[in-house]
């Protein structure tokens, strides 16, 4: 069992922008006594279309920032950073590091019966092949079909969660994967859980969607309990949100992801 002081430290969660708030939301529901320090790089989002080198540099800076604030665990909530920069985070972190890709991969393997799994994400995530590698670590027999869906991030930020343009876009993106007998679709991007009802409709009832935010919260709960790092029950958790910019409509978009009021937002300048 870790010391009481360590157990009461917050969990550090980070993302390229506000999308990682879907992970914070899942964590708040699953682990209501845990404090959270969130970092969203709102000045430099999106990462999904940037080079690996650039993304790794950003990931290192964010990790150092959160470690310096004092956290007991780091969660890479951004699929893109998890896909290409996890090693960078692990290299500098003395605290355990979890990421959405590993959580989503485990969940996909436990859900699929057909062993035909589709993965959707940003171009950087899909090009890295990180999901395929992670899924094959748990079950090498799974067939994986990947599809980059770069238009989904701006569509979600626009709030077009149930819009004909988004539906048409999804139909187009899904054509090459739905011609295979897949029964599982991994939502490999922070923004996609907000499109769940629409994506379920387009993919059809025989396809189970894997939400990596929920999978992440489950895995975090397991790790905290197994390592004696879980916060004491009954306390009142603190939530602080660090961002690098407050762009137009930040509050509205952020609250859509978080599902509640976004209070205590602090702007950090680089």
Binding site for ligand DGL (CB under 6 A): 15-17, 19, 45-48, 78-80, 121-122, 125, 153, 189-191
C-beta closer to ligand DGL: residue 15 or 211:
15
Shortest CB 143 distance to ligand DGL, Å: 23
The active-site residue, picked from 56, 78, 149, 179, is: 78
Shortest CB 2 distance to ligand DGL, Å: 30
| Of residues 268, 256, 266, 236, the one with CA closest to residue 24 | 256
C-beta closer to ligand DGL: residue 47 or 239:
47
**Does residue 56 carry a catalytic annotation?**
no
For the purposes of burial, counting CB atoms within 10 Å of the CB of 200, is it exposed (0-12), middle (13-18) or buried (19 or more)?
A: middle
Taking the CB of residue 197, how many other CB atoms lie within 10 A of it? 11
Helix (H, G, I), strand (E, B) or coil at 244: coil
Shortest CB 54 distance to ligand DGL, Å: 11
**Does residue 78 carry a catalytic annotation?**
yes
C-beta closer to ligand DGL: residue 9 or 48:
48
Residues forming the active site: 78, 189
């Amino acid at each position: 069992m870790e010391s009481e002081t360590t157990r009461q430290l917050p969990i550090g969660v980070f993302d390229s922008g506000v999308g990682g708030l879907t992970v914070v939301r899942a964590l708040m529901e699953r682990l209501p006594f845990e404090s959270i320090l969130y970092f969203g790089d709102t000045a430099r989002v999106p990462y999904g279309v940037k080079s690996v080198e650039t993304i790794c540099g950003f990931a290192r800076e964010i990790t150092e920032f959160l470690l310096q604030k004092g956290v007991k665990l780091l969660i890479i909530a951004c699929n893109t950073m998890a896909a290409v920069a996890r090693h960078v985070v692990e290299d500098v972190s003395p605290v355990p590091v979890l990421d959405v890709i590993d959580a989503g991969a485990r969940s996909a393997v436990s859900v699929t019966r057909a062993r035909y799994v589709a993965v959707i994400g940003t171009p950087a995530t899909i090009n890295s092949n990180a999901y395929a590698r992670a899924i094959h670590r748990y079950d090498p027999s799974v067939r994986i079909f990947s599809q980059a869906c770069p238009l989904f991030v701006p569509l979600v930020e626009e709030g077009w969660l149930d819009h004909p343009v988004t539906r048409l876009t999804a139909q187009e993106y899904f054509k090459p994967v739905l011609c295979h007998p897949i029964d599982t679709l991994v939502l490999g991007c922070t923004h996609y859980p907000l499109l769940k009802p629409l994506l379920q409709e387009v993919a059809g009832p025989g396809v189970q969607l894997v939400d990596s935010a929920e999978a992440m919260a489950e895995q975090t709960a397991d790790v905290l309990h197994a390592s004696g790092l879980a916060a004491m029950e009954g306390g009142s958790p603190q939530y602080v949100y660090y961002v690098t910019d407050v762009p137009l409509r930040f509050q509205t978009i952020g609250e859509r992801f978080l599902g509640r009021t976004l209070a205590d937002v602090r702007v950090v300048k680089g």
